[in-house]
Amino acid sequence: MQPKFIRETRCFKVSRVFPTDVNNHNTLFGGKLMAYIDDIASISVSKLCRATAVTASTDSVDFLQPIRPSDSVSLESFITHTGTSSMEVFVKVIREDMRTGDRTIAATAFLTFVALDDDNRPIPVPGVVPETDEEKKLFETAEYRTQLRKHRREESKKFADYLLTKYPWE
Q: Is 66 a binder of ligand COA (CB under 6 A)?
A: no
Q: Is 64 a binder of ligand COA (CB under 6 A)?
A: no
For the chain, helix (H) and strand (E) counts, in that order, are 3, 8
CA distances from 95 to 19, 33, 36, 105, 138 (A): 16, 12, 14, 6, 21
Selected range binding ligand COA among 18-26, 81-89, 128-136, 160-168, rule: CB under 6 A = 81-89
Q: Is 147 a binder of ligand COA (CB under 6 A)?
A: no
Q: How far is 15 from 93, CA to CA, in rounded Å?
A: 11
Number of shown-chain residues binding ligand COA (CB under 6 A): 13
Nearer residue to ligand COA within complex by CB, 137 or 151: 151
Q: Is 137 a binder of ligand COA (CB under 6 A)?
A: no
Residue 27: strand, helix, or coil: coil
Q: What is the DSSP letter of 28?
A: B
Please answer whether residues 138 and 80 qualify as being in contact, where contact means their C-beta atoms are separated by less than 8 angstroms: yes
Nearer residue to ligand COA within complex by CB, 16 or 151: 151
List the interface residues with ligand COA, window 103-132 (CB under 6 A). Answer: 112, 114, 122
**Shortest distance, CB of residue 1 to ligand COA, whole angstroms?**
13
Residue 37 C-alpha from the chain's centroid:
6
Please report, as ranges, the residues that interact with ligand COA according to CB under 6 A: 54-57, 83-86, 112, 114, 122, 149, 153
